[in-house]
Amino acid sequence: MAVAEAPISEPHTSALGSINPRSISVFGSTGSIGCNTVELLSQNPKSFSVDALTAGSNWQLLAKQAIELGASVAVINDESHYNDLKNALSGTNVEAQAGNVALVEAAKIPSDMVVAAIVGAAGLKPTLEAAKRGALVALANKECLVSAGDILLKEVKKSGATIIPVDSEHSAIFQVFDFDNPDSVAGITLTASGGPFRDLSLAEMQSVTREDALNHPNWDMGAKISIDSATMMNKGLEIIEAFHLFPVALDEIDVLVHPQSVVHSLVSYVDGSVLAQMGTPDMKTPISYALAWPGRMTTSAQKLSLADVGRLDFRAPDNERFPALGLARRALQTGGSAPTILNAANEVAVLAFLQGKIGFVQISAVVQRVLESVNSVAMGSIDDVLAADDEARDTANNVINTIKL
Ligand SMILES: NC(=O)c1ccc[n+]([C@@H]2O[C@H](COP(=O)([O-])OP(=O)(O)OC[C@H]3O[C@@H](n4cnc5c(N)ncnc54)[C@H](OP(=O)(O)O)[C@@H]3O)[C@@H](O)[C@H]2O)c1
């Protein structure tokens, strides 16, 4: 459905001091978050101009998006598709580039805003580069905060970059958190749909398939986050993400299962007030909030009718059926490289599940084994992060090779 040109409330000033149209680069433009972002940008050509778009290997969609949005550069990470991309862009003004060095270079283009929507630790280097140059970073890629939160935030502080969360829960908290009076906040609550297996017993979870796990009841998302939602590791990663984004202690971060996905998260205040942000489960809302921040823009997201929703349910999560939640909390408590290890092991285990090498319940078991086997060490640089990530991936692959289905 077409929507009206976005009325971004005021000609806003970005972190770099430029005025409308806001210039944007989208990293991971061909994914689920990326495609929603591209849709919003294409519906609002007067409000946004597009510098770089990037993809992993989907050169066809990348070329189509880059031509449609009039991007300056299109970068494909998989170098074997450079010629395909170049040919698809011949006769246009879009420059084709390829490889992970080009990906990081694209983050140095002085766009006002970088949308970080690559999945997994692969998004770390470009996001870090955007933070280093003081950009507005619309952050969907939670894995990079999980695996390198302290290092990324150090760069943000140094450069004056701004992170605007895109994850719906963190966007919700960002919208209702009183940053001027953080001492008035008593805690935050991340809501979780509970995923497709929220009502299954552990025994029933033993036999779920890849297709069952990918079939999220409320949200339409990429494969990795859909599996993370099913194991509830997604909520575990989000606890770590929230810990880095908001001035709260770990024991002030709560999780509540809320099957309708209408209340996207809540902030509790010392006077007993609880402020929530609500909406229909559509990622266009939090993405648009980040794109237009500090204004708002019109989207095609279905409007919320609480009368139609009728009832909202909440319950505490079950840590026994969903051990990933506890693993994430423990990794954050351990500190050092433990969250990096957790994230890397989880990425490897999710891929192994998607490839049919391990069963669903073994995903968290692999992560636990890796956390127990690899020592957490202090991390001072991105090289330390990459070394811990590599070691955890090797260990996870070794653990997976010992598993017999
Ligand atoms: N989807 C959601 O609703 C949602 C909600 C909240 C947060 N998030 C977070 O947002 C991020 C993106 O999620 P998604 O669901 O949009 O993922 P997705 O659909 O799998 O898309 C991932 C994007 O990253 C690109 N990519 C993959 N591997 C790459 C690599 N090695 N180097 C460079 N680019 C690579 C993909 O390119 P190809 O298309 O060429 O493979 C694609 O553009 C994740 O961190 C996720 O946790 C997503």
138 neighbors 159 (Cβ within 8 angstroms): no
Asked whether the whole model's pTM tops 0.85, one would answer: yes
User: What CA–CA distance (Å, rounded) separates 193 from 225?
Assistant: 13
The Å distance, Cα 7 to ligand 1 centre, comes to 28
Residue 122 CB–ligand 1 contact under 6 Å: yes
CA 352/CA 397 separation, integer angstroms: 9
Do 113 and 136 contact (CB within 8 A), yes or no?
yes
C-beta 283 within 6 A of ligand 1: yes
CATH number at 22-166: 3.40.50.720
Is 144 near ligand 1, meaning CB less than 6 Å away? Answer: no
Residue 55 confidence (pLDDT) above 50: yes
281 lines ligand 1 (CB under 6 A): no
The string of pLDDT tens digits covering residues 292-351 is 999 999 999 999 999 999 999 999 999 999 999 999 999 999 999 999 999 999 999 999
Within the chain, which residue ranges are assigned CATH 3.40.50.720? 22-166
72 close to 95: Cβ distance less than 8 angstroms: yes
Q: How far is CA 215 from CA 141, 221, 246, in A?
A: 21, 10, 31
Tally of CB atoms within 10 A around 83: 12
Ligand 1 centroid to Cα of residue 38, in Å, is: 13
Number of residues that this document lists for the chain: 405
- From the alpha carbon of 221, which atom of ligand 1 is closest? 1
pLDDT tens for residues 242-253? Answer: 999 999 999 999
Give the per-residue pLDDT at 14. Answer: 36
Q: Across the chain, what does the average pLDDT equal? A: 94
Check whether 212 has a pLDDT greater than 50: yes
| Ligand 1 lined by 117 (C-beta under 6 Å) | yes
Q: How confident is the model at residue 93 (pLDDT cuts 50, 70, 90)?
A: very high
Contact 335, 212 (CB under 8 A): no
218 confidence band (pLDDT: 50, 70, 90): confident
pLDDT tens digits along 98-130:
999 999 999 999 999 999 999 999 999 999 999
Per-residue pLDDT at 1 exceeds 80:
no
Tell which one of 78, 220, 221 to mutate to probe ligand 1, the residue whose CB is within 8 A of the most ligand atoms. 221
Mean pLDDT, residues 55-63: 98
The CB of 57 under 6 Å from ligand 1? The reply is yes
124 three-state secondary structure: helix
Q: Is the pLDDT of residue 16 over 50?
A: no
Compute the distance from residue 292 Cα to the ligand 1 centre, in Å.
21
Q: What is the pLDDT of residue 200?
A: 97
Does the pLDDT at position 159 exceed 50? Answer: yes
Task: Give the position, in ligand 1's atom list, of the atom nearest the Cα of 29.
Answer: 43
% pLDDT > 70, the chain: 95
- C-alpha dist (Å) from residue 38 to 50, 53, 64, 117: 10, 9, 11, 11
Tell me the pLDDT tens digit for each residue of 256-284: 999 999 999 999 999 999 999 999 999 99
Alpha-carbon distance of 377 to 362, in angstroms, equals 26
Whether residue 167 has its Cβ less than 6 Å from ligand 1 = yes
Q: pLDDT tier at 217 (50, 70, 90 boundaries)?
A: confident
More confident residue, 60 or 6: 60
**What is the Å distance from ligand 1's center to 29 Cα?**
8
51 lines ligand 1 (CB under 6 A): no
pLDDT band at residue 403 under the 50/70/90 scheme? confident
Q: Cα–Cα distances in Å, from 33 out to 9, 39, 98?
A: 23, 10, 21
Query: How far is ligand 1, taken at its centre, from the CA of residue 105, in Å?
Result: 19
Q: Which of 91, 31, 22 is nearest to 55 (CA)?
A: 31
